[in-house]
Structure 1
Amino acid sequence: MKATAFCPGHITGFFQICEHEEILRTGSRGAGLCISHGALSTVKIEKGSGRIEIKINGERSDAPVTKQALAKLIYDRGFDVSVETTLDLPIGQGFGMSAAGTLAASLAIANLLDLPFQRALEVAHEAEIIHRTGLGDVSALSRGGVTFRKVEGLPPYGIVDRVSADAEIILGVVGPPILTSSVLRDVEIRERINAIGKECVENFSKSPSLANLFRISREFASRSGIMTDYVRMALDAIDGLGPASMVMLGNSIFASGDVDEIEKALNKFGKTYRVKIDWIGPRVIAEE
């Protein structure tokens, strides 16, 4: 049996870390965008001993996050699984590729095994939390669009509101990857993130909009001390061309406004991508 699923990428502008004993209640508050570039996963299952093999962009990968999620779905069902995932964006730049790849593969298997969509979300969220590769990506992706994570955790524990907005977004990779897990494990950085993040969440809740998402994200990146010199220089280069901020957590930025001029300026720093807001969310696109 074979199925193919797509999951959008997701970028976070600001966040507050919120941990609980129950993993499905753990996550983050904050706001971000689900984007048209993401992960496409084709999954084949056949009777076997529970072996899981994963290729990402044509190369065999350990993919521990995806592997853990899939193992929970097949556990004692006696299937071997092979996964081929194509990522539209680089890993380690805050584009939610770990969550997108894991959720796309999980959704494809859930569909083949007649498991509910919610179960695919649960195993992907759990794997992301355990491996410290993300906190709120799966929650946001479960809704799609421009999202405000009002209450941490995977819905229905978490509460994720949609924000009405539409825009063409330029993503710019302006420096080397950042390991999300290293940031999330640093106590000093976490305390600073949470102090500023709490303020940002409260401010955004008063008037959720795309304009305020950009504005508050820029404030968060600057005040939290997360903003790198790579990002700072790139943001200075596009000053005045439209709203822009740092993608959490990567040496990358997201911007809107005069997209042609923004793209031209950011190309001097690294690779750029034009993306749209994805309102559909994760979906199965083929089954055999």
Structure 2
Amino acid sequence: FVDVTHEIDIPVGYGLGCSAAVALSLALALNQALNAGFSKTKVAEIAHLAEIKCQTGLGDVLGSYYGGFEIRTKAGAPGIGSVKKIVPKNREVMIVCFNPISTKKFLKEKISLINGLGGKMVKELIKSKDIDEFQDNSLKFAQYIHVITPKMKKVVNELRENGIKCGVALFGETLFSLIPPQKKQRILQILKKYDGLVISSKIDSSGARLN
């Protein structure tokens, strides 16, 4: 019998990869606590398979494993899937979360739409390596699969009016913006006007690890 307690700084169900982070951190911790002796890649593969089986996500373990701003160039668990990293110079992340969405329900309803356009956008982003293009494509993609709610649209419009780009976390009613520090106060002023949870974060480029 193992008693597990997780402390999480971000909300669950808002498209921020929380379930992948939980699965991967638990797998890494158990591997060490039980002296299982698995390699880090094997542990991450187990976490990835758990996510697939539980239908809580499809590829976020791969992103959590590598960390940073990454483009998934090949699907699959760490050791099988692959990523290409982009270093966003002088950028932080601002997030506003309104309502959670069931990942299982989302995948069932939207997966056929996701697969087609997503692959094309990934190829474009690998060529450009442009953060603003990524945010534009994220918004375009969310519009294509009809996940932008009226409340989200209102926030997007106000951000655009102030010269601030943003994207959408697909598995939740969540918007994010990769911004230079000098724009942080302005975007905070805008986001705090709306009834949502506002999160500010730097980008960690090291990936999952045990302290």
TM norm structure 1: 0.67
Identity of aligned residues (%): 29
Q: Secondary structure at the residue paired with 1:108?
A: helix
Q: Measure how far apart 1:279 and its partner are.
A: 0.7
Q: Are residues 1:245 and 2:167 paired?
A: yes
Instruction: For 1:192 and 1:251, locate their aligned partners in 2 and report how far apart those are by CA, in whole Å.
Output: 18
* 1:267 partner amino acid: K
Runs in 1 of length 4+ with deviation above 4 angstroms? none
2:203 matched to 1:277? yes
> In 2, distance between residues paired with 1:94 and 1:192?
17
* CA positional deviation for 1:163: 0.9
Structure 1 spans left out of the alignment, 5+ residues = 1-79
Contact 1:231 1:253 in 2 (8 A): yes
Residue matched to 1:10 = none
Task: Give deviations 1:239-272, integer Å, cap 9, x for gaps.
Answer: 2342201112111111133221111211122110
Residue 109 in structure 1 maps to residue 30 in structure 2:
yes
User: Is 1:256 equivalent to 2:181 in the alignment?
Assistant: no
- Corresponding residue number in structure 2 for 1:132: 55
Gaps of 5+ in 2: none
1:72-128 deviation line (CA, Å, top 9, x unaligned): xxxxxxxx2111111101111011111111211111111221322122201110011
Aligned partners of 1:170, 1:206: CA distance in 2, in Å?
25
Cα distance in structure 1, aligned partners of 2:116 and 2:39? 37
Q: How many residues align?
A: 203
Instruction: Indicate yes or no: 2:155 matched with 1:231.
Output: no
CA RMSD of the aligned region, Å? 1.5
Q: Per-residue deviation at 1:192?
A: 1.9
Q: Which residue of 2 aligns with 1:95?
A: 16
Quick check: which one's helix share is greater?
2
Q: Conserved in 2, the CA contact under 8 Å of 1:241 and 1:261? A: no
Q: Do the aligned partners of 2:95 and 2:200 also contact (CA within 8 Å) in 1?
A: yes
**Letter of the aligned partner of 1:154 in structure 2?**
A
